[in-house]
Amino acid sequence: MYKVAIVDDDRIIRKGLSSVIPWTEYGFDLVGVGADGEQGLEIIKEHDPHIVISDIQMPFMNGLEMTKVIKEHNPKTRVIFLTGYENFKYAHEAIKLKAYDYLLKPVETSELIEKLKQAAIELELELRKENYITESQYYFQQQLLKRLSLNELTIDEIVKELSIVGMEPKETIVAVLYVKLDQTDFGSLHKMETVKDCIMEYCRNILDHYKIKGRVVNAETEHFAVFLFGSTLLAEDFTHSITSITSEFLSTVQENLHTTITITRGRINHELAHLSCAFREAVKAMEFRHMVGINRAYSIEEIETLECAEVAEHLKIEEDFFRYIFLGLPEKVTELLENAKNELLTNKKVSLQEMVLFAVRLIGLIFYESSKIAKNWDYTKFGNFESRLLKLQTIDEIFSEIKIIASDLADFAKRLNGNRKHTLVNKAIEFIRDNYHVANLSLQTVAEEVHVNAAYLSNLFKVEKGFNFGDFLLETRMEKAMELFQKTDLKTYEVAGRIGYSNPQYFSSSFKKYTGFSPIEFKKLK
């Protein structure tokens, strides 16, 4: 509906027009009625009507004076003047003010309705034209950004591309900001685009306020860019100005729209030919948004020295990670992941894409490995975790997703194992003490005796006893060797054979490393 306001000092005319015309039936919404120009302006400021029906001669502020202010407020507003024959002399002035039309009093209702319909048609056509121009501009702006991101344009090509979207910069200093809406779940694509349009308009107003030459350039989905231009005289202050502008962008959006944005910047260049590079750098910087954080502004210089590396290689957490899961130690799992996250946040060595791929791989391994020790664990409750991971935007969120799944399996393993793991280790230790003299005694042999996986048993030793299988077997054999040397006159090769060593030389070497004495030296201590 188109909003209409009536301003007339004649109470009868005000009452007649407001009550006689069935406004809504004709597609209009009567938003206010005023008795003079001052009251009319209050209505205009509050409701911003599309059409104003006004008398010319009124006390305090006449219709012509009011129209001047209206046109300054919104040049698109249509004003239809009502005037008596004696005031027809004002018609020329009304035309100069670009009034839509004027009608002689007493006005016929049908004639006024017809004028209103004509004004509405004009408004509709103008709106369609503006939308077409806006959509065309948006299209050309998006094409400009695509070309900047894909090609190294020559200076002539850049100037041509900029002129298509209405920019003809003469300044030598250029900078590009890349902006992303932090929130995208507004319920519909249309609503998100509406919010984005509001944000871009705020940015334009801020540029005007700071008197910085620039242009807001629309990009696809939740992104847009801002091109900034400065003269050589402002070179020293240009970076400071950009900092002030981006700070104003952030605070204005948060205060007025209750949402946030992230802003990244490429290098500041002193040649227009480097515009492509500046844009690509700003886009590249946005890839580290999950590391740096949202609702802030940062530049490519802040992250450029960071070297992206393979996450798994960088963290090297997988061995301990799966050991803690399968031993049923959710607290250890949480601690390990927290330390890994802090390591990444400190060193900032990975992109969002690398982090997501690492998480997908790690969770996939969790599901695969769970079949070995927890076949009844229901991993289907986590649904399509890949899709969720691809939507995550920060390292905190990604690690949280990993922790939820890993801790759930660790809790399941904890309940499944109960005290079984303590019994298993004790059984293994008892078996080793009874069979240490077997030459080929191995971890695999002991694991088969207690009916568990060899790797699982090895982990149990480390966590429960603080040492591994090999250390315990060595300790058991060396203690028995020392006992034999002290209580018998057996030769070295005989002792070696009794404790499981088929090679006397190897036994002698191991004995000295363990005790600090050779077998001969140890015998003399008796």
Give the domain extent around 183: 151-302
Query: 95 is written with which tokens?
Result: 């035309």
Q: What is the DSSP letter of 462?
A: I
289 shares its domain with 319:
no
pLDDT at residue 496, rounded to an integer: 92
Phi and psi based region of residue 6 (left: phi greater than 0; alpha: psi -120 to 50; beta: remaining): beta
The residue written with tokens 């790690």 in the block is 362
Q: Is residue 256 part of a domain?
A: yes
> Which residue type sits at 310?
E
165 shares its domain with 74:
no
Q: Read off the pTM.
A: 0.44
Query: 81 is written with which tokens?
Result: 């003047």
Question: Which CATH number is 474's domain given?
Answer: 1.10.10.60
482 shares its domain with 505:
yes
Q: What is the four-CA torsion angle of 344, 346, 352, 353, rounded to 10 degrees?
A: -50
**How far separated are the first and last CA of the chain, in Å rounded?**
109
Q: Is residue 255 part of a domain?
A: yes
325 shares its domain with 298:
no
Q: In what order do the strands lie in the sheet with 173-181?
A: 213-218, 223-230, 173-181, 261-265, 297-299
Q: Which of 401, 417, 433 is the last residue of a domain?
A: 417
20 shares its domain with 6:
yes
DSSP letters of 73-137?
A: H-TT-EEEEEE-GGGGGGHHHHHHTT-SEEEESSPPHHHHHHHHHHHHHHHHHHHHHHHHHHHHH
Q: Say what angle helices 469-487 and 443-450 make with each other, to 10 degrees.
A: 100
> Which residue type sits at 481?
A
272 shares its domain with 175:
yes
Q: What is the four-CA torsion angle of 366, 371, 375, 380, rounded to 10 degrees?
A: 50
pLDDT at residue 181, rounded to an integer: 94
* Residue 419, helix vs strand vs coil: coil
283 shares its domain with 378:
no
Q: Is residue 76 part of a domain?
A: yes
Taking alpha carbons only, the member of 469, 493, 492, 495 closest to residue 480 is: 495
> Which residue type sits at 432?
I
Per-residue pLDDT of the chain (526 residues; tens, 9 = 90+): 899 999 998 888 888 888 888 999 898 999 999 998 899 999 999 999 999 998 888 888 888 888 888 888 888 888 888 877 555 555 556 555 566 677 777 888 888 888 888 888 888 877 776 665 555 666 677 777 777 776 666 777 777 777 776 777 776 788 899 999 998 887 776 788 889 989 999 998 998 888 888 888 888 889 999 988 886 556 667 888 899 999 999 999 999 999 999 999 988 888 887 788 888 889 888 877 876 789 999 988 876 554 444 565 656 777 788 888 877 888 989 999 998 888 877 766 677 777 877 887 788 788 877 776 677 788 778 877 777 887 888 888 999 999 999 999 988 888 876 645 556 788 888 899 999 999 889 998 988 887 777 877 887 787 777 788 888 899 999 999 999 988 888 999 999 999 999 899 999 999 999 888 899 888 887 6
Q: Is residue 444 part of a domain?
A: yes
* Residue 14, helix vs strand vs coil: helix
305 phi and psi angles, rounded to 5 deg: -80, -10
293 shares its domain with 166:
yes
Question: Which CATH number is 200's domain given?
Answer: 3.30.70.270
Q: Which of 384, 417, 450 is the last residue of a domain?
A: 417
pLDDT at residue 403, rounded to an integer: 93
159 shares its domain with 296:
yes
Whole-number Å distance between alpha carbons of 296 and 293: 7
Q: Is residue 132 part of a domain?
A: no
Q: Is residue 142 part of a domain?
A: no
272 shares its domain with 335:
no
Q: Is residue 137 part of a domain?
A: no
159 shares its domain with 230:
yes
Q: Which contiguous run of DSSP H or E holds residue 213? A: strand 213-218
170 shares its domain with 262:
yes
Q: Is residue 388 part of a domain?
A: yes
| Structural domain count, the chain | 4
pLDDT at residue 151, rounded to an integer: 62
Q: Which of 388, 417, 446 is the last residue of a domain?
A: 417
Taking alpha carbons only, the member of 432, 421, 312 closest to residue 373 is: 421
Question: Which CATH number is 46's domain given?
Answer: 3.40.50.2300
